[in-house]
Chain A
Amino acid sequence: MPRTILDPKILRSLVPALSFAVLLGAIFYVQPRTMSYFGLNLMLNLALPIAFATIAQMFILTVNDLDLSIGSFVSLVACITATWLNEAPLLGVVALLGCIAAYAALGALIHLRNLPSIVVTLGMSFVWSGCAILLLPSPGGSAPDWLSGLVKFRMPFIPFSILASLILGLIVHFALMRSATGAVLRGSGGNPQAVERAGWSLLKTKVTMYALAGFFGVMSGMILVGTTTSADANIALRYTLFSIAGVILGGGEFTGGRVSPIGAILGALTLALVGSLLSFLRISPEWQIGAQGIILIVVLALRSLVNRLEERQA
């Protein structure tokens, strides 16, 4: 059978890109002034940390787990960045490395004791929030100069947030989807028994994936502080739900190691742009989260349609 545009595999990977394009097109149509360097930069600046958090969540979803603590983790990282990393850089770096190590340890604990990730990360979300409150009881702190300088860096022609998202997507795509190691890592979500029989350690893959999630969580928090220049203990709590929705929007499956890094980033940007579109349409911000829910359902409905098409062809 020729690979036409109706091939379900191509259709499925097109859904995230199409929904992003439709949304961006709608924004350009409603408010043509956004079709500029500054317009795009303004809209997408706050989307960049969400994209990083979504990639973190994607690593966890790849091994059939779910992280309900990424929002509070990013908040804690933001608090560390705005306080220790700024005042005592060495202490800050050690603390952030400790955060990544803690994530890796969680992966080991979950694997060794065969624990449900949902409950463990739920408990950890209290721990991260508690640490963040201890560190920064009231909103404040300030971003290290080099960090805000980096995030606010004005690239010629193309906004930093777009370039960074693009590079992030490509790096993770090639590392996870195209490399031999990436195939093993995804395989441990798709068929753990087979990967183990083939001689790979499931413990190692789980720890790797959790450490990667911790690393991208740290990146997300640092970029967030670079943009907002200060932090508070609740700054990123909504990232937990955003990141799950972003991965799913981007074509990731809930189980079986089927994920798409580029799709996940497009999913995160789509969710972030919904708010802009609504405000350009003068719809009150109260409907923003509802509109995100509706878009999520519409995209999932589209995908379910594609899947049924595939079944009929098979």
Chain B
Amino acid sequence: MTTKRSAAGLAGLARSAPWLFSFVGALVIFAVTLAANNWSGAGQIITAALSFGAFYAIVGIGQMFVITTGPGNIDLSVPATIALAGAIAMTTMGGSDAMILPGLAAAIAAGFLIGSFNYLLIWLLRIPPIIATLSSSFIVQSLAIVYGRGLRIAPPPFLAEIATGRVLGVPILAIVTILLAVVMAVVLHRSVYGRSVTAIGQNINAADLAGVRVGTMRFATYALSACFAAFCGVMLAAFSGGASLNMGEEYLLASIAVVVIGGTSVAGGFSNVSGIWGAALFLYLLITMLNTLGVGAGLRQIFTGVIIVAVITLAGGRKKGRG
């Protein structure tokens, strides 16, 4: 009886505050890590989690808007975009502080073009977004390889300072990303664009009949996701002392994982931004915990995978629409 009631309570909580679970999970893992570490080094762990979590959060927010527009909508071109944008930014900047803004603009513009190309394929060829972003990511990947060949240009000092520096112990990049998350949460829940994206995800035909400009909104969503991936690429290159071709690799899985663990429905039409931060911290702390416990690379991957599957199994498949 009590278990039934608490299960119902949990389900209710999952509906009213889906972001809560990722933060609770992050806290639990954080506590275990600290215990294994003899209750020391808490500050260091939090700082590292905030820095690395920020990268997950940036790509996660873009991916979330795409996933919100409904089943089958996933941007697979994130890793290729990260690699190309990072290379473009580092080349344009050429290590000079004065060129930071032009370099950033060039990278974001490249992201915008990639996103536009993605939607052009979806719209013109009427193909599922997964296939469209997959095909374009092949091309972008080749461009990144050719463009970034043997290139290892150090980031401008000021940009590197932003990517790695701290204010009062808090990473600057984390502050920027938290602000970004707040802005995007307002966009998602309060702006015409955000409401339209949610409406499209719940029922694209109903949204169309209700006067939502479906095409424009979907175009904006794919462009937005690619721009966020491009921004992540620039900051990642600045963080790690230069762009590399495979620096985007892990972000395909990570971007989807943080969205889902954060409580956004994969069926679309139901999402939140704050859960992404919780999930980003969760993912990074999980890796830290397994490292602290002395778990090897193989077991670490197995645990990560099992936990992703367990989270989605517990969260359950939400039926499409309001149900």
Contacts and interface: CB of A to CB of B under 8 A. Distances in A.
Interface of A: 66, 109, 113-116, 118-120, 122-135, 137, 241, 244-245, 248, 254-255, 284, 286-294, 296-297, 300-301, 304, 307
B301 A129 contact: yes
Contacts of B260: 116, 119
B281 interface: no
16 contacts: A114-B317, A118-B256, A120-B312, A123-B257, A129-B305, A130-B304, A254-B130, A255-B128, A286-B146, A287-B146, A290-B139, A293-B142, A297-B135, A300-B121, A300-B127, A307-B126
A127 B298 CA distance: 8
A245 B146 contact: no
Contacts of A255: 72, 128
Contact of A127 (B72, B127, B253, B305): B305
Contacts of A127: 301-302, 305-306, 309
A134 B301 CA distance: 10
Nearest to A131: B302
B150 to A, nearest CB: 11
B41 interface: no
Contacts of B274: none
A125 B284 CA distance: 18
Interface string B281-307: 000000000000000111111111111
Given A125-B253, A134-B299, A286-B145, A116 B267 contact: yes
Contacts of B297: 130, 133, 137
Looking at chain B's contact residues, is the secondary structure mostly helix, strand, loop, or mixed? helix
A33 to B, nearest CB: 27
B316 A133 contact: no
A160 B146 CA distance: 36
B22 interface: no
Given A122-B257, A254-B130, A254-B131, A116 B266 contact: yes
Contact of B139 (A124, A129, A135, A293): A293
A125 B142 contact: no
B74 A137 contact: no
A118 B141 contact: no
B305 A126 contact: yes
A248 B131 contact: yes
B316 A122 contact: no
A272 to B, nearest CB: 14
B184 to A, nearest CB: 22
A119 B308 contact: yes
Contacts of A128: 305
Nearest to A124: B305
Given A254-B72, A290-B143, A113 B313 contact: yes
A263 to B, nearest CB: 15
Contact of A254 (B128, B138, B317): B128
Interface string B134-152: 1111110111011001000
B113 to A, nearest CB: 15
Looking at chain A's contact residues, is the secondary structure mostly helix, strand, loop, or mixed? helix
Give the 4 A-B residue pairs with the shortest CB-CB distance, closest first. Answer: A290-B142, A293-B138, A126-B305, A130-B301
Interface string B311-323: 0110011010000
A71 B175 CA distance: 37
Contacts of B300: 130
B168 interface: no
Nearest to B137: A293
Contact of A300 (B135, B298, B301, B306): B135
B317 A289 contact: no
Nearest to A66: B130
Nearest to B146: A286
Task: Tell which of A66, A126, A137, A292 has the most Cβ of chain B within 10 Å.
Answer: A126
B138 A289 contact: yes
A291 B305 CA distance: 32
B1 interface: no
Given A286-B146, A300-B127, A130 B305 contact: yes
Contacts of B128: 254-255
Given A130-B303, A296-B138, 11 more contacts: A66-B130, A118-B74, A118-B266, A130-B304, A133-B297, A134-B299, A244-B134, A290-B139, A293-B135, A293-B136, A300-B125
A245 B127 CA distance: 12
A235 to B, nearest CB: 15
B143 to A, nearest CB: 7
A126 B121 CA distance: 30
Interface in B158-198: none
A290 B304 CA distance: 31
A293 B71 CA distance: 23
Contact of A245 (B135, B296, B306): B135
Interface string B42-86: 000000000000000000000000000001101000000000000
Contacts of A130: 297-305
Contacts of A288: 142
Nearest to A292: B138
B170 to A, nearest CB: 30
A300 B138 CA distance: 15
A287 B31 CA distance: 48
A294 B146 CA distance: 16
A294 B316 CA distance: 38
B134 A304 contact: no
Contacts of B121: 297, 300
A286 B142 contact: yes
Contacts of B305: 123-130
B282 to A, nearest CB: 14
Contacts of B71: 116
